[in-house]
Amino acid sequence: MRRLHTGISTRLGSILLLCCACLGGAAASGAEPPWPLAMQTMVTKEIRVFDGEFSLVVKDLVTGTRYTHNASTPAYLASGVKILVMISVFEEIYQGRLQWDDEVLFTENDVRDGVYVLLPGRVGESFCIEDLVEWMMKKSDNAATDLLIKRLGIDLINRVTQKYGGSSFGHITSLVGVRRQIYRELDVRAQKLSNRQYARLARHRPLSKRVRRFAKMIGADEDAFSLSQLLAAYQAYYQSGLNSAPLEAVARLLESLERGEVVHPAASWDMLGIMRRCQTGRRRIRAGLPEALALAHKTGTQLKRMCDLGIVYLPSARPVVFTACLKDYSSRRKAENLLASLAKRTVELLDPSLIPAPIVPAEDLEPSEPKLVPILNAP
């Protein structure tokens, strides 16, 4: 049986003391922190050179100061919706309708693409809720996620999403539902494909090969659909608003987690502990942070879409919400580099002590005094 962590009052007390100290200093100076203006200058420069679009919310949860860019426009969250599935699990645990050691059977119909633990060879095994949540958040395993959705029901997850995230969150679907909806934009016969067939389809790369394979699967001519039609199907799906939310709403949800307001204080902080163990997206926010800084986050990725949604903990346990989503970029690596760069410069603006010391070239160093070496057996 899983136990929620203890020591809540100690953590809450330290946060409140930190908040009081920092807010008191801000009030005494009467000055607005300068970093949002510097952020705007930085973002303006990035807009000029980045060939896609991005949304960004940064909020210092100690002072309440924040910076936003394009934060009210709905963004496709991809696997970022797994945060909402996790919250739904904790809600059911807290209400006594679910136990951590309850098991879910992994069947042929539960096979998915985007898996790192629940591979097809494990069909027929049963897995406990605790392990499924860990694999969903740590490895971003799609099969684990859809098993949890199957156990909870998608209607419950959407009710919990509205309860804690608000009405600006779009309808949440299963992950295999995403695939079905996209390919249905190409041909309604996509609905007849099995979940295992969708998992196999995802293995065909590049996309031009995948769309030909899809045509064969539904009994159409191999060249019935073009790559441009598949790309248009993805765009149509993104415009549907499914699995989407404005980043300002996502940032509020993360802030509520940090303040212990989601489900229960112990549950909120236990969820953040799980998010700290996330192993995906190491070239994104994580790549821009000093190794010593903690990060609780969840990434999301799909064609021409990328998100990293999290809380960075600056020194002295100072939490800062950092959420970003990017779209319509030409290079995934460039998009990841932008995320890392934004994260790096953000934490340096908020805490200049994190700026690395400059490396001084050897030729610029002052020559050291020569050491006098005693001569043995000198007369």
pLDDT digits (tens, 9 = 90+) for 200-241: 999 999 999 999 999 999 999 999 999 999 999 999 999 999
Q: State the pTM of this model.
A: 0.88
One domain for residues 186 and 272: no
Residue 335 counted as domain residue: yes
pLDDT digits (tens, 9 = 90+) for 114-149: 999 999 999 999 999 999 999 999 999 999 999 999
CATH assignment at residue 289:
3.40.710.10
One domain for residues 249 and 299: yes
pLDDT digits (tens, 9 = 90+) for 150-161: 999 999 999 999
- Phi/psi at 254 (5° precision): -65, -40
Residue 231 counted as domain residue: yes
**pLDDT category, 375, cuts 50, 70, 90?**
very low
**Considering 239, 258, 279, which residue would you say is the last residue of a domain?**
239
What's the rounded Cα separation, in Å, for the pair 276 and 273?
5
Residue 13 counted as domain residue: yes
Residue 317: per-residue pLDDT: 84
One domain for residues 265 and 313: yes
Residue 358: per-residue pLDDT: 72
One domain for residues 37 and 23: yes
* Residue 312: both structure tokens together: 């960075």
Residue 281 counted as domain residue: yes
Residue 316: per-residue pLDDT: 85
Residue 193 counted as domain residue: yes
Residue 327 pLDDT exceeds 80: yes
Residue 21 pLDDT exceeds 50: no
One domain for residues 348 and 288: yes
Residue 11 pLDDT exceeds 60: no
Residue 2 counted as domain residue: no
Residue 360 pLDDT exceeds 80: no
One domain for residues 234 and 271: no
Residue 18: per-residue pLDDT: 40
Nearest-10 Cα torsion for 366, 371, 372, 373? -150
One domain for residues 211 and 290: no
pLDDT digits (tens, 9 = 90+) for 79-96: 999 999 999 999 999 999
pLDDT digits (tens, 9 = 90+) for 275-320: 999 999 999 999 999 999 999 999 999 999 999 999 999 998 899 9
Domain region containing 230? 182-239
Tally the domains of the chain: 2
Residue 267 pLDDT exceeds 70: yes
